[in-house]
Amino acid sequence: MCGINRVRIFMWWLFSIASALCQVGRNSVMKNLGHSLDEYISVWGRFFFLLPLALAASWLVGFPRLEPGYWAYSFLAALSQVVSTLLLSKAFKHGEISVVVAIWKLQVVLLAVLGVLFLHETITFMGMAGILVSLFGVYLLNVQRAHLSPAEPILSLIREKGMRYALLAAVTLAPTVLLFKKTAQLSDAYFSTLTNYAFASLLTFPLVLRNSSRHLHLLPRYSGRFLAMGCFAATSTILGNLGYLRSAAAYVEAVKQIEIPATLAVGVLFFNERERVQAIWPGCVILMLGLLILILAA
């Protein structure tokens, strides 16, 4: 019985790692598409092309009984997701990616606070220590990779518009994650993925028509890449939802930060983004230490 309980405790961690690795695949395809298409159609494609797989997964496991208030929460989750994603794209457009990511990851701390306040999640002292250590690892990794001073991301909040967009993206992503968890609690991990992103794709499509109509005729040419991105996105979201249902959302998002060193590896292997190992290994080690503390906290 003790062994079964241990497996259940650690399943959230395994789902979180798998979700993060799928996000690496999603972001890699999205980056590839970004060279040919603009940000609006790429974001809409990420939302829309995951729907077939989410529908198939929901149909295979069986459609759940929906709890009261589900549709309102699903719409709010979609709206928050769209706003957060567009703010992040603006941050990347106006600022350096390394500094943007360092600021954006503040959402993990915000998520811990909001999760306790609104979903009555339990964050232990050791768990919060793991979150903060892993967050510092991400911070150090990004500032060292870009050869910045440790104070640069903080100072840039005052100087640069892009960094303020990054902070707003972090502030809006935290409630997005909690709303995704709430919809999963009111239905299941599969159906909530389907409806949340159905709403998100509907909310985003008018922006595509207004800003990216010239690219719509290119969709058939890139359909394979869009479907691959949708497959990664659907799998990542479903696995993340399964993690949320088994642990505090902040724990799941903290573990998913392993996506960052994995993304660096993909950049080196497939996009020729060579990084000096000595510049990034301290941040990676501290990040892994934070994840180990989180595992022990579970």
For CA atoms 220, 222, 223, 224, the dihedral sign is positive
* Cα(248)–Cα(118) distance, integer angstroms: 12
* Cα(197)–Cα(179) distance, integer angstroms: 12
What is residue 6's predicted lDDT score, i.e. its pLDDT? 62
What's the pTM value of the predicted model, to 2 decimals?
Answer: 0.84
Assigned domain for 1 exists: no
Assigned domain for 81 exists: yes
* Cα(49)–Cα(38) distance, integer angstroms: 16
Assigned domain for 3 exists: no
pLDDT tens by residue, 154-207: 665 556 677 788 788 888 999 999 999 999 999 999 999 999 999 999 999 999
Q: Mean pLDDT over all residues of the chain?
A: 81
Assigned domain for 4 exists: no
Please tell me whether residue 248 adopts helix, strand or coil conformation. coil
What is residue 222's predicted lDDT score, i.e. its pLDDT? 85
Assigned domain for 247 exists: yes
pLDDT tens by residue, 217-272: 878 888 888 899 899 999 999 999 999 999 888 888 888 877 777 766 666 666 56
Q: Which of 105, 167, 91, 163 is nearest to 136 (CA)?
A: 105
Domain carrying residue 274: 13-297
Assigned domain for 136 exists: yes
Contact of 275 with 264, CB cutoff 8 Å: yes
pLDDT tens by residue, 60-84: 999 999 999 999 999 999 999 999 9
Assigned domain for 2 exists: no
For CA atoms 248, 253, 257, 262, the dihedral sign is positive
Q: For the chain, what is the domain count?
A: 1
